Structure 1
Amino acid sequence: MTQQPFSRPGAVDLTGLGSAPAAAGATTGAAGSAYSLPIDEQNFQAVLESSMTAPVLLVFFSRSRMPESGQLADDLETLAGEFEGRFLAGLVDIDATPQIAQAMQIPSVPLVVVVLEGRPMPLLQSAVPLEELRAALTQVLQQLTAQGITGRHTPRATATADDEGADQVDPRYAPAYDALEAGEVDTAIAEFQKLVDANPADTEASAGLAMASILKRTQGVDLDSARAAAAAAPDDVAAQTLVADLDMLGGHVEDAFARLVGLVARSAGDDRDRARQHLLDLFAAVGNEDPRVLRGRQNLASALF
């Protein structure tokens, strides 16, 4: 799968779609789940407006022309529930709603588009396995969190007509995410630490703490200088772990893991322990169920034993 870096190009011109008559057989938006819904001409604009506070992922598919694209839509709907509102999945059946496909200038299906603040960016253009899709979305959401974009959508089952799609953060995490959004990294670390201390099994709090710690360690760091220092001192734990942190923020998760696995393999004593613990912290930031973490743990075990 080819994943492009997240950016914010110009918004799509949707003039007139809100009042256009629905195509024959178009979905009405009444179905779906807590964090997903079928898209038609009537709800399309409202769904895009909800991207002002949390991401929307539009998946364009055709079950009749390409069944694999329909499976991708089903998988995205499943993951929308797993991520509990970090994004809203908009399911666009191009056979039922051809006007939307025309407005978005969809070249082919399947296509998944990230929409943030009303602006679209293609994410992937092929049907991929569920695990690969989960890993890609985890990476995108980590990058957004690093940018202070931490909003959540309200579950549709409890949303009203006025607030459907509005952003809502779980109250337990709100102080930490608010601090991240305000650029107050130290406060975010303290808030996440409280949650972890209260419940060490809270994986979201652990991931948030790990990511906030990465942000803290990389504040004010010049990327080129850090890479040059690491190249000049391949066995320096501080230099190598700093570049691994920078790789994480840049979305190069596997590169970060490989760098530290290699460092563990050629280190000993305290240096090895420091490198190993840092790698475990990066695993926590990504999430233990991520296939890249599973591979990273296997590689770490090989390096240690």
Structure 2
Amino acid sequence: MSRKWSSADIPDQSGRVFLVTGAGSGLGLETARAVARRGARVVMAVRNTAAGEAAAAQIADEVPGADLEVRKLDLVDLDSVRAFAESFDSGLDVLVNNAGIMTPPRSLSPQGHESQFATNHLGHFALTGLLLDRFQGPDPRVVTVSSLAHRHGRIHFDDLTGERGYAPIKYYGQSKFANMLFGLELERRFRAAGSPAKSLVAHPGFSATGLLRASNTLIRTVGTMVMPLVTQSAADGALPQLYAATAPEAEGGQYIGPDGKRERKGAPVVVQPVPASTDPALARRLWDVSETLTGVRFPLPAAAS
């Protein structure tokens, strides 16, 4: 990237199908809007269908003739993920694993998993595996949205649910670290299978989205005070995942984030994940645990050690 990339650089996406999770607001809405503008068919997967329909109407007002479909998907519930995948009868070019929750009080999913790990990682892991046979075209991609918080995360294999040591930030970091491990391991498995598909990871820096407003009271209060000083808009925050999803030069296994100071703001560039998240052995361990917890087995071989 020799110059700053923007949404104006998105190539024509006519004939391509995008599935964007969490497309009712924030980064997901901006991602859906940007690719719809370039001619893509966009499936907007949302937990709240009323909010999703309102978001789709907003896009349609701005993009006459936009090809949009709103569908219900609650990533915290693996039954919802399976039902969504079973009813998804379209081919798929790009899956953007964008939806997420941040620092709520401890709660468990219907299947008994900690809610952030369930929503941010396990739901997307299962969704990706269940939709692999829908991928089509010469350049299929999976883009998984991580966070700067992955730098401070680790996988608490001995306490995945937080029963013995839950702290909202700690378990948010776990889920975002899991996103990074998953995205990079998926790319290794695509390569081992000789697949044309690419897996990339992106992060939005510090972006003004509803994710912060939905977090716990302390994070929300502090965030509201400093947000205008340190954040960028959701539209700018979506640029790294849009680059990962659409730029012809983007390569599998890349991690895309803002080019500004400490990656908080700016135009999308290739950035470096924390070294621990590039550990294939750790990624394989998480992959095996994730297959067990979700019951979803990917038809992809593990990469050679």
| TM bucket, shorter chain | under 0.3
Greater relative CO, 1 or 2 (CA 8 Å, sep 6+)? 2
TM-score between the two structures when normalised by the length of structure 1: 0.24
Q: Which has the larger radius of gyration?
A: 1
TM-score between the two structures when normalised by the length of structure 2: 0.24
